[in-house]
Amino acid sequence: MPIRIAIADDKPINRQTVKDKLTGDPSVLLLFEARNGKDFLEKLKEAPEKPDVVLMDLEMPEVSGIEAISIATAAYPTIRFIVLTVFEDNDKIFEAIKAGASGYLLKEDSAIHILDAIANVHEHNGIPMSPAIARKAMDLLRQMPTHANTDNEENETVKDSGLSDREMEILKEMVSGKNYKAIGEKLYISPLTVRKHAAHIYEKLHVSNRTQAINIAHKKKWI
């Protein structure tokens, strides 16, 4: 069964470029396209079938991509959003992730890269990023202030999370952008075991997906 997708971009030429890259691949089915965030939300509400994955531009009139992701994620938590943009703006990366985006790609990325990202978020709950974006995200994480282990308030918060040492270790790798396979390879465990730990993390944090867990980790300053 093909992965149902939608495209939101205010420039017709950009929408056509994305469609050209995906047309003919049997693994995806385009349900609809939208000219901005407002148009997307209206079409999403009216659509008899909801998309599994949405390719979303950020800079759009009326309702921006980040606003649209935030609103749609709250109403339709099973939909995965991949930001598809020409920008490598540092602030936009985390704004999009905080809003609920599951991936962040550049429009110049190849068709196979975009298709792989769609399958990744849909089938494996991954967080695909273009290499340039991933490097920026890692740089931003490295620049974030660290908190000493002697900080009693932080240690107490981590302890109160209920996460085991292994679960906290996996959460840290999730924050760094690794998928289940990469985490498993680093920790010498199977992707299935990583997936089970991730499910326990979501349950303990009372969230439903990786993005929400990462948001909590940043908010609580565990990472």
Distance, CA of 27 to CA of 123 (rounded, Å)? 12
Q: How far apart are CA 42 and CA 25, in angstroms?
A: 27
Domain end (from 139, 165, 185)? 139
Residues 60 and 31 in one domain: yes
Average pLDDT, integer, range 189-194: 86
131 and 153 fall within a common domain: no
110 and 66 in a common domain? yes
Mark which of 139, 161, 176 sits at the end of a domain. Answer: 139
| Structural domain boundaries, residue 161 | 145-219
pLDDT in tens, 36-85: 999 999 999 999 999 999 999 988 888 888 889 888 888 888 899 998 87
Q: Which two tokens stand for residue 202?
A: 């979501």
pLDDT of 158 over the 60 cut: no
| pLDDT surpassing 70 at residue 24 | yes
Last residue of a domain, one of 139, 157, 181: 139
Q: Which helix (H) or strand (E) holds 169?
A: helix 165-175
**pLDDT value at residue 73:** 86
- Give the pLDDT of residue 174: 84
**pLDDT the model gives residue 13:** 92
Instruction: Give the contacts of 130 (CB within 8 A, at least 6 positions apart).
Output: 104, 105, 106, 109, 113
Q: Determine how many CB atoms are found less than 10 A away from the CB of residue 130.
A: 22
List, for residues 104-121, the tens digit of each pLDDT value. Answer: 888 888 888 888 889 888
211 shares a domain with 196: yes
Q: Considering the entire predicted model, what is its pTM?
A: 0.60
Mark whether 8 and 109 lie in a shared domain.
yes
Lowest pLDDT segment from 2-6, 45-49, 171-175? 171-175
| Distance between CA atoms of residues 111 and 126, nearest Å | 18
Of 9-18, 24-33, 45-54, 90-99, minimum mean pLDDT range: 90-99
Give the number of residues written for the chain: 223
Q: Decide if pLDDT at 194 tops 70.
A: yes
Angle among Cα 196, 218, 144 to the nearest 5 degrees reads 125
CATH of the domain at 129: 3.40.50.2300
- Give the pLDDT of residue 141: 58
Q: Of 33-37, 176-180, 194-198, where does mean pLDDT reach its minimum?
A: 176-180
Which residues have C-beta within 8 Å of that of residue 161, sequence separation ≥ 6? 168, 204, 205, 220, 222
Q: What share of the chain is helix, strand, coil (3-state, %, to 5)?
A: 55, 15, 35
Average pLDDT over every residue of 180-192: 87
Mean pLDDT, the chain, integer: 81
d(CA 168, CA 125): 18
Of 13-22, 74-83, 135-144, 212-221, least confident by mean pLDDT is 135-144
Residues 70 and 178 in one domain: no
Amino acid code (one letter) for 62 = E
Q: Are residues 123 and 175 in the same domain?
A: no
Please determine, for residue 147, whether its predicted confidence score (pLDDT) is greater than 70: no
Q: Same domain, yes or no, for 9 and 101?
A: yes
160 and 130 assigned to the same domain: no
Q: Do both 16 and 103 map to the same domain?
A: yes
Residue 71: alpha-carbon gap to chain centroid: 15
Whether residue 33 has pLDDT greater than 90 = yes
- Does residue 211 share a domain with residue 158? yes
Count of structural domains, the chain: 2
The span from the CA of 105 to the CA of 113, in Å, is: 9
CATH code of 206's domain: 1.10.10.10
> Are residues 195 and 130 both part of a single domain?
no
